[in-house]
Amino acid sequence: MYEDVIMPKISFYRFVCAVIVGCLLILPAGCSKKEEQQAEEKGVIDKMTDQAAETAVKKIRTPMDKARATQNLGDERVEEMDKALQKQ
Tens of pLDDT along the chain (88 residues)?
445 555 566 677 888 878 888 777 776 665 555 666 666 777 778 888 889 999 999 999 998 999 999 999 999 999 999 988 888 7
Quick one: pLDDT at residue 25? Answer: 73
Quick one: pLDDT at residue 71? Answer: 92
Cα–Cα separations (whole angstroms), residue 77 to 72, 83, 85, 87: 9, 10, 12, 15
- Maximum C-alpha span of the chain: 130
Quick one: pLDDT at residue 2? Answer: 47
d(CA 88, CA 77) in angstroms, rounded, equals: 17
